[in-house]
Structure 1
Amino acid sequence: MSLLSELLNKFKETFDTAPDVVASSPGRLDFLNTHQDYKGLPVVSVGVNLRTYIAIKIVNGDEVSIVSYNLKEEGSPFQDIFRLSDLKLREGKWFGNYLRAGLIAYREKGIKLPGMYVGILSSVPVGGGLASSAALLVSFLGAVAYALNLSVSRKEIAELAYHAEHDIMGIPCGRLDQYGSAYGKVIRIETRPPYNVEEINFREGVFVVLDSGIKHSTADIHPKRQAEIDEGLRILMRMPEIPLSLKEKLGEHYYEPRWEEITMNEITPFLAKIPKVSAKRIEFTLRMNSSTELALKIMRGLEVSPSEIKNVLPSHFHKEVDIAFKERGKEKILRLIGIIMNYQHELLRDLYDLSLPELEAIRNSALSSGAYGVKLSGAGLGGSLIALTRDRKTAEEVLRRGLSAGAKRGWIVEI
């Protein structure tokens, strides 16, 4: 039975009626330019074939009744009932707060909300690095829009979901998750206004998600890295020897520089004069972004020369680049993207200090099993790794070996 059919059956059993609408949104992979969205740099998301489904029935009155069938199956608290006349977030961590925040976001836009029955069923694993909360919010906001015949675009849904999670719930996220779930496929998301989205026509390879089972907190990691960048930027801005042409592109806070206009050549002489940790974080930002733009060029199907790639990647990747260029078509593209994924993992590990021995053991097993590239996904210091493979057979071996190496859970996903 499909997930959709299962949801429809469960909804009828719970509420003794059929829903008016059903909407769904995919989970997403944090593919390229990880830890860059809060700096205003573009990020690349991959929507995958795991989805969250939301069914809604509009009812008289102002009562909202929500049932999560996943939580019910787990034996956890699974129902949230409240009145719209008393719409507010509950104290502590509560699954219903995501939907409550979504309704608050709609109300702030002047939308008159009716009572409703809501059923949730999802194949997007919670805490697996696939943005389950964004898939929940986006599918719910979309379902409400359909049920109320609201004219809202995918971009508006993504912005509402971001506002609900970031501003109303106070979760320190960027826009990657919400846009990735709202658009699906492979997209390049600009994280400065007007938040343009470019859909990339790329559907090659099979991905494996390997969940280390090590819990991490975005709320702990992001503010620390941001403060480390700020410390270095403040010192740089006060250096009289820095040319005005560079200083005009900098700023005192991590979100102020025009990062995409700054080159390593022009800033390297001054990085030695600031704390080493701050220098590493700034170098990470520049190198991560330049390698992302290179990967996007390859994924768009544009011509890229070996020398162009070698100018971006360090020398220990050059032999692999030469091997990739001996291939043709899909094989060449997947190998090149895999090489850039591996480079970005090294940046996350060595310049952003976000890996752990347990993560490296899982990653090494995936690479030795035939994965082209394996990198951290999400905040780091735990969470998940994503691996790019040629086909499903290879993906199955990567998953098997990853689980043997310490991953607690894993999934094979496609775009």
Structure 2
Amino acid sequence: MKATAPGRINLIGEHVDYQGGMVMPAAIDRYIRAFAQENQRPEIRLSSSRSKGELVIPIAHDTPFSGDDSWANYAFGVVAKYRDAGYEIAGFDVRFESDLPVGAGLSSSAALETAAALVVEEILGINLSKTERALLCQSAEHDWAGVPCGIMDQLAVNAGVSEHVLKIDCSTHEITQVPLPAELSVVVVDSKVKHALADGEYAKRKADCDAATAYFDVEFLRDVTIDELDSARLQIGERVYRRARHVITEIARVHDFSAALDAGDTTRAGTLMAASHSSLRDDYEVSCHEIDALVKIAIRLGAIGSRIMGGGFGGSLINLVETDTASQFAEEIVACYRKEIGLDVEAMAVKLVGGACIEGIG
């Protein structure tokens, strides 16, 4: 059997999903594929085109992996979640292959989790809803990989729709499908600066947001107004204030961005992406000089909007461009960055595609 799970981009709404905010992601045509078959043993055998050897894991295994084997937390962690939910899982062999960059802010983790989940469901003969599967994968990432992620990545990977952006309410999990105008395309630039969210910076930002919600006695920062936040600036401290200001203003930008797309106002959409990047750079402090340099080059080359995407600390730049210039833009930003900064990046025009699926082989 083969399970295919796409990566995802996020046009706007960064670092707000774990605060119940609004986001606008889409699944893209870069994938992790899982090739699997049952092995008639009480064990899972994992291998990947990006790691050496094979991991043989008893189905009853219950502790996270570390070091070179830590990637298995995203795959076996999902298996363990089905097991712990009461399902009796037969042993299987699975190999993962991918053309989805790792550490580039394109949700390779959520794609790996979802591919593993689809394999387990096929073996069990069950079919969870896309939201149920996304929540299970999110739980696995929390408990096995140690990353306190929100729900955006898993929902986008599971619920993607061709040629559409998903406007997701991360509190209710309600999804609205928003067509991307044919004259607009997305170009992703992988800065080749890698991040590891579990190293602690992601968790520190989330802890700052949690400090703000505790002060206001609310579940999510989406329930706090900017005026309320401003009035508490001295009490909560400057760092927590700036983290919370990013979240509150970014959620507002998502609503405005969706309205701009509906109205065909591409200039407004680009302005909102620029404001998002500034907020992520200055208030949330998750950008870096390589990404900031790429944003400046992208705008100079004619991008409608450009900003850092993903967890931050490197990763990718997302650019909204005119469709008839997408390929040229991708070539030029690579050449300009190499000439001006002296480093290589990878740029790819991506298509918006449907979500994860499973299909038989042979």
TM-score after normalising by structure 1: 0.75
- Partner of 1:15 in structure 2? none
Match among 82, 85, 88 for residue 57 of structure 2? 82
- Partner of 1:212 in structure 2? 191
Contact 1:348 1:354 in 2 (8 A): yes
- Partner of 2:284 in structure 1? 352
- Partner of 1:102 in structure 2? 78
Match among 41, 45, 69 for residue 25 of structure 2? 45
Aligned residues between the structures: 341
Q: Cα distance, 1:297 vs. partner?
A: 2.5
Contact 2:19 2:222 in 1 (8 A): no
- Partner of 2:349 in structure 1? 412
Contact 1:263 1:286 in 2 (8 A): yes
Contact 1:32 1:45 in 2 (8 A): yes
Q: Cα distance, 1:215 vs. partner?
A: 2.8
Contact 2:79 2:116 in 1 (8 A): no
Q: Counterpart amino acid of 1:167? A: D
Q: Cα distance, 1:232 vs. partner?
A: 5.7
- Partner of 2:248 in structure 1? 286
Distance 1:134 1:402 in 2: 27
Q: Cα distance, 1:79 vs. partner?
A: 2.1
Distance 2:324 2:62 in 1: 46
Match among 61, 68, 79 for residue 41 of structure 2? 61
Give 5+ residue unaligned stretches, structure 2: 338-342, 353-362
Describe the shift of the 1:39–1:399 C-alpha distance in structure 2 as closer, same or farther (beyond 3 A): farther
Q: Deviations over 1:80-109 (max 9, x none)?
A: 223325565433342333221111011011
More displaced stretch, 195-204 vs 209-218: 195-204
Contact 1:403 1:409 in 2 (8 A): no
The alignment status of 1:126 with 2:102, answered yes or no, reads yes
- Partner of 1:142 in structure 2? 118
Describe the shift of the 1:407–1:294 C-alpha distance in structure 2 as closer, same or farther (beyond 3 A): farther
Distance 1:359 1:212 in 2: 7
Distance 1:272 1:89 in 2: 40
More displaced stretch, 261-270 vs 144-153: 261-270
- Partner of 1:26 in structure 2? 6
- Partner of 2:258 in structure 1? 296
Match among 202, 207, 218 for residue 180 of structure 2? 202
The alignment status of 1:171 with 2:133, answered yes or no, reads no
Q: Cα distance, 1:26 vs. partner?
A: 0.8
CA RMSD of aligned residues (A): 2.5
Distance 2:265 2:241 in 1: 32
Q: Counterpart amino acid of 2:280? A: L
Distance 1:44 1:27 in 2: 14
Distance 1:67 1:354 in 2: 32
Q: Deviations over 1:274-310 (max 9, x none)?
A: 53333322322221111111112233x2x5xxxxxxx
Describe the shift of the 1:105–1:269 C-alpha distance in structure 2 as closer, same or farther (beyond 3 A): closer
More displaced stretch, 201-210 vs 105-114: 201-210
Distance 1:265 1:115 in 2: 55
Distance 1:114 1:178 in 2: 25
Contact 2:103 2:195 in 1 (8 A): no
Contact 2:46 2:56 in 1 (8 A): yes
Give 5+ residue unaligned stretches, structure 1: 1-20, 238-249, 304-331
Q: Counterpart amino acid of 1:156? A: E
Contact 1:52 1:124 in 2 (8 A): yes
Query: Could you tell me the percent identity over the aligned residues?
Result: 26
Distance 1:36 1:62 in 2: 40
Contact 1:45 1:187 in 2 (8 A): yes
Secondary structure of 2:269's match? helix
Contact 1:389 1:395 in 2 (8 A): no
Distance 1:88 1:228 in 2: 28
Distance 2:254 2:176 in 1: 14
Distance 1:170 1:217 in 2: 11
Q: Which has the higher contact order (CA 8 A, sep 6+)?
A: 2
Q: Cα distance, 1:174 vs. partner?
A: 1.5
The alignment status of 1:114 with 2:90, answered yes or no, reads yes
Q: Counterpart amino acid of 2:260? A: I
